[in-house]
Structure 1
């Protein structure tokens, strides 16, 4: 493995064969993770009330273990990164530091309301193969990774078009995550994490802001959605749509963290009269 030193913080970074320093430092998820972690570590010293203030932890080194490239040569880019970070204090106590970096994603709660009943809402789920979960029919909210330089709302609108076949301008999407965070006062220990849901914070940097869109449709059109085949076949997507009554969403989407988080945000905002 090759090794180089970061400038800030001044620590060694080990690289596996095939990954250059330049490609790593151009990978936004790595830079965002390092910046966020460095900010959180700095709070230990600045805040006497921090639980680690008397013996603060520090990032000592990083070892990149493996990586995946997206795209085809010569335009390949980093997609996923697995690393270990040594984070320890003066007493030699270490924090778990196995990290899978993949960057942010977005999720969309799309509700269809029959034009003859304002209280009869349906949510659209996608059913598709999810090999990491060992499933060929995983029911979940529509979602997608945010590309380099892309916006959250723009990605959400694009995924809705590709996965659901609906044209929804980004400006018509509302971010439930941002709405829930409004009015929450920050304290001196605020780590400035993104306003989003973290589905696996113990091992992965992925964070997912959740958007919502509600659309009125003729009741007879609802039947056209369930079982509809969608997705980009050239990207390996094999998606079937499933229409679920909102009152049953907690059960039908119970394996999907995005779905449960979206439902909790939507119900909480409705109770406060913000939706």
Structure 2
């Protein structure tokens, strides 16, 4: 049987499905983060007279959790995914779409390899012609594919260690040890560029300053956001051939990953179905144009 409780801070009713406790939901970081971010965004309607909804602001009236998935073993499972609907409307009775799939943030990694026999002082074009991106090919059942080509990526744990998770994913999926200190966050660099007075308008997150500096691949229905990290290194040319076709991933977690190397100049085509690839390419090219990379 479902149950309902009143949120202690926002004073809205939250209805839970059978088996999901109030404590478990309120300890689920993707839920608390989404709710606080939404409430902060709703508050901007009244504090900012130029907000498009200022004359008739919307409010969150209730939340109904429809379903959830648990991760881990049977002894101490943790909440993994949550599907809910949020009732958001204004005084005129106008509503906003409120179906939400909560899964939390992820990280994506743009790892680029250049043969070490290329003169580092050679032209930018020569380096670009020999710059390779490491991609993964793996089953993605949600996409209906057993061979989905994408940038390496992984979910972030409750601790929110984005840099550490990026380094772990590179080690697990690519088999390369890269210290977190050697990773560059393209998303953060793009945000800093606009704050420093870059050319042109809003930049990452300027429409709503509460949002993290990251890519939202499906904001119409999912809370997931993805900071994109970059690492570039020179490797022996013969090592490049060893990467393509290598089998990686944590087999005990059901990961069956094959590596694929593509030229950076072909990433727009090879990764055309992958939002992470296209976002990484756009950030990398934009930052290079501004002399940030």
Superposition TM-score, scaled by structure 2 size: 0.92
CA contact (8 A) 1:139 1:252 kept: yes
Secondary structure of 2:243 counterpart: coil
Matching residue of 2:174: 164
Aligned residues: 275
Following TM superposition, by how much is the alpha carbon of 1:184 offset from its aligned partner in structure 2, in angstroms? 2.4
Following TM superposition, by how much is the alpha carbon of 1:75 offset from its aligned partner in structure 2, in angstroms? 1.5
- In structure 2, list runs of 5 or more residues that go unmatched: 121-126, 196-201
Aligned match for 2:186, one of 176, 191, 203: 176
Matching residue of 2:134: 124
Rounded Cα–Cα distance in structure 2 between residues aligned with 1:183 and 1:223:
37
Does residue 144 of the first structure (1) align with residue 162 of the second (2)? no
Aligned match for 1:219, one of 199, 221, 237: 237
Rounded Cα–Cα distance in structure 2 between residues aligned with 1:7 and 1:50:
28
Following TM superposition, by how much is the alpha carbon of 1:9 offset from its aligned partner in structure 2, in angstroms? 1.4
Measured against aligned partners, the alpha-carbon deviations of 1:83-131 in whole angstroms (never above 9, x if no partner) come to 0000000011000000000000000000000012251100000000000
Measured against aligned partners, the alpha-carbon deviations of 1:145-204 in whole angstroms (never above 9, x if no partner) come to 001114100000000000000000111100000000004248997432000000000000
Rounded Cα–Cα distance in structure 1 between residues aligned with 2:160 and 2:193:
27
RMSD over aligned CA atoms reads: 1.3
Does residue 242 of the first structure (1) align with residue 243 of the second (2)? no
Does residue 205 of the first structure (1) align with residue 206 of the second (2)? no
Off by >3 Å, runs of 4+ in structure 1: 185-191
Aligned match for 1:251, one of 269, 274, 281: 269
Superposition TM-score, scaled by structure 1 size: 0.98
Rounded Cα–Cα distance in structure 2 between residues aligned with 1:135 and 1:188:
35
Moved more, 56-65 or 187-196: 187-196
Rounded Cα–Cα distance in structure 2 between residues aligned with 1:152 and 1:189:
23
Matching residue of 2:15: 14
- In structure 1, list runs of 5 or more residues that go unmatched: none
Rounded Cα–Cα distance in structure 2 between residues aligned with 1:183 and 1:152:
21
Rounded Cα–Cα distance in structure 2 between residues aligned with 1:190 and 1:87:
18
Matching residue of 1:111: 112
